[in-house]
Amino acid sequence: GEDVEQSLFLSVREGDSSVINCTYTDSSSTYLYWYKQEPGAGLQLLTYIFSNMDMKQDQRLTVLLNKKDKHLSLRIADTQTGDSAIYFCAEIRYNNAGNMLTFGGGTRLMVKP
Amino acid sequence: DTGVSQNPRHKITKRGQNVTFRCDPISEHNRLYWYRQTLGQGPEFLTYFQNEAQLEKSRLLSDRFSAERPKGSFSTLEIQRTEQGDSAMYLCASSFGGNPTDTQYFGPGTRLTVL
């Protein structure tokens, strides 16, 4: 299985809040990221959180980090149809050569009007 | 320069042919990464450059794959003797190594289909 895990699918109604969850494995990761991918497109960086933080808010986005449980979540307030996409969490892993991102399998968010 | 660009956006080839993809990073970024994404999966790391030096290669990168970044700016990824299992989206990302977050910004990807 993947080192970073996410649920596959989430469906919400327009205007509701969405919560996308992620568990990761590398306790030494210093930054954790959320990316958005629309059909046929590359990855768009949404937000990131430093590992010594519990929460970060950025407009409609709230990231919560539970380092003890290695659990990360992304809350989208007032979800819109334009938020329909696949959301990936990623952890950064360092080695002597540099950094690499390890991604979860993605959560497909469907927003119903 | 508004972001990472990749060419071509789509490539269809026959099994056994060679293909080459190009990535132009954000101009001030010294780090460049290649990832591969198969259908329904998250991206997987392939290789990484700091300036012109290739510093890390995943074991996913078989000897049919080669990547270069000759002048520390654009990069190419070549796949020789393509196989159907090479069909995927190839994503390029860049980052500025002097930034503590080292945030990676992705291009639109090149979708490869091997027939």
Phi, psi dihedrals of residue A64, rounded to the nearest 5°: -115, 135
User: Tell me: the pLDDT tens digits for B44-67?
Assistant: 999 999 999 998 888 888 899 999
The model's confidence at residue A1, banded by pLDDT at 50, 70 and 90, is very low
As given in the structure block, the two tokens for residue A3 are 């080192």
Chain B contacts of A88, Cβ < 8 Å? 42-43
As given in the structure block, the two tokens for residue B110 are 């090149």
Write out residues 54-73 of B within 8 Å (CB-CB) of A: 55-56
Alpha carbon of B53: minimum distance to chain A alpha carbons (Å): 10
As given in the structure block, the two tokens for residue B62 are 């078989």
Residue B1 has pLDDT above 80, yes or no: no
Question: In the prediction, which pLDDT does B106 show?
Answer: 95
Instruction: Tell me which residue of B73, B68, B61 sits closest to B21, measured CA to CA.
Output: B68
- Answer whether B10 touches A (CB < 8 Å): no
Task: Look at strands B88-95 and B105-106 and give their pairing.
Answer: antiparallel
Q: Do the Cβ atoms of A98 and B56 come within 8 Å?
A: yes
Q: B30 to chain A: nearest residue by CA?
A: A98
The model's confidence at residue A97, banded by pLDDT at 50, 70 and 90, is low
Instruction: Tell me which residue of A82, A18, A98 sits closest to A44, measured CA to CA.
Output: A82
The set of residues, in sequence order, having a beta carbon less than 8 Å from that of B79 and lying 6+ positions away, is B18, B19, B20, B64, B65, B86, B112
* Residue count of chain B: 115
**Higher pLDDT pick, A30 / B91:** B91
**Higher pLDDT pick, A41 / A109:** A109
Write out residues 79-108 of B within 8 Å (CB-CB) of A: 91, 93, 95, 97, 101-108
A94, A100, A102, A107: which to substitute to probe chain B, counting the most B Cβ within 10 Å? A100
Q: A41 to chain B: nearest residue by CA?
A: B108
